[in-house]
């Protein structure tokens, strides 16, 4: 996106479309405008205040039970934050994203709760107060619940993390499922969404040379410097 600039309607090619209508006008009201101004409108590894991701965001105590408990509370807090964002939105796309994330966030909290129960024998439902967020009451969550996204845990690897089936998918339930059903471990990762093919004005953002030529020049310079 740094190379192409603002997105344009499907089908338009060539000069990047008409940008006289301020296609990124909405960014002037965004809390973190630098995400657009410096990041080409894409996702950046920063928080909502623009603070870059760093090692301070990681908590590890050396005690697996304490770490699992910490992560469980983080997931519960994350679900509350998603609900707060949902409550601030009227845009259908934003609400759809929040609906999906609320469903998938319940999977993460559920997984940590099951792990805690497996290790300690404690009934997490009775031991800890957890946010009561009935996803069935949120319209945007419904289709993801119907397809079972709240019962599916992905390994994101074809060969690793097979051990998770000892916690997830063996019939144990730590938190109420809405609607109920069998837990499932899926090897690999979910199918992603469509990646937009952007067409813009390369000469405006990488002057004089096309991207392929820039790579060729960089390769020649690297070889010449050895």
List average pLDDT for each run of 10 residues in the chain, which is 226 residues long: 52 55 68 70 75 86 94 91 90 93 91 91 83 86 92 90 84 66 88 72 64 86 88
Among the residues of the chain, which ranges form H helices? 34-37, 64-88, 92-120, 124-127, 142-146, 202-205, 211-225
> Which helix (H) or strand (E) is 153 found in, with range?
strand 152-154
Q: What is the pLDDT of residue 53?
A: 84
Does residue 37 sit within a domain? Answer: no
Q: What is the pLDDT of residue 176?
A: 67
Q: What is the pLDDT of residue 21?
A: 67
Does residue 51 sit within a domain? Answer: no
Does residue 38 sit within a domain? Answer: no
Rounded to whole angstroms, the Cα distance separating 166 from 69 reads 19
Rounded to whole angstroms, the Cα distance separating 148 from 178 reads 10
Does residue 39 sit within a domain? Answer: no
Q: Which domain holds residue 66?
A: 60-186
Rounded to whole angstroms, the Cα distance separating 162 from 109 reads 19
Contact by Cβ (8 Å): 103, 82: no
Q: What is the pLDDT of residue 130?
A: 75
Q: What is the pLDDT of residue 213?
A: 81
Q: In which residue are the tokens 């992603």 written?
A: 192
Q: What is the pLDDT of residue 144?
A: 93
Q: What is the pLDDT of residue 96?
A: 95
Q: What is the pLDDT of residue 173?
A: 58
Q: What is the pLDDT of residue 159?
A: 87
Does residue 19 sit within a domain? Answer: no
Does residue 156 sit within a domain? Answer: yes
Among the residues of 121-183, which ranges form H helices? 124-127, 142-146
Residue 86, domain CATH: 1.20.1260.10
- A 10 A CB-CB count for 10 gives 8
Q: What are the distances in angstroms from CA 140 to CA 92, 100, 177?
A: 9, 7, 17
Domain count, the chain: 1
Does residue 88 sit within a domain? Answer: yes
Does residue 65 sit within a domain? Answer: yes
């Amino acid at each position: 996106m740094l190379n192409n600039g603002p997105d344009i309607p499907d089908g338009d090619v060539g000069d990047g479309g008409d940008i006289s209508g301020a296609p990124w006008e909405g960014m002037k009201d965004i809390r973190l405008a630098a995400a657009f101004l410096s990041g080409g409108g894409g996702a950046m590894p920063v928080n909502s205040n623009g603070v870059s991701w760093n090692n301070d965001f990681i908590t590890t105590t050396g005690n697996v039970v304490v770490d699992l408990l910490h992560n469980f509370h983080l997931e519960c807090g994350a679900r509350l934050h998603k609900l707060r964002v949902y409550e601030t939105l009227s845009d259908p796309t934003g609400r759809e994203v929040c609906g999906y994330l609320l469903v998938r966030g319940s999977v993460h909290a559920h997984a940590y709760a099951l792990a805690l129960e497996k290790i300690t024998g404690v009934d997490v439902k009775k031991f800890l107060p957890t946010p009561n967020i009935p996803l069935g009451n949120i319209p945007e969550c419904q289709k993801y619940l119907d397809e079972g996204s709240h019962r599916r845990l992905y390994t994101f690897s074809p060969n690793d993390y097979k051990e998770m089936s000892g916690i997830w998918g063996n019939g144990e339930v730590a938190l109420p499922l809405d609607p109920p059903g069998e837990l499932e471990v899926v090897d690999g990762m979910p199918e992603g969404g469509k990646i937009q093919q952007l067409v813009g004005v390369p000469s405006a953002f990488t002057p004089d040379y096309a991207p392929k030529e820039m790579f060729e020049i960089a390769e020649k310079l690297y070889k010449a410097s050895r």
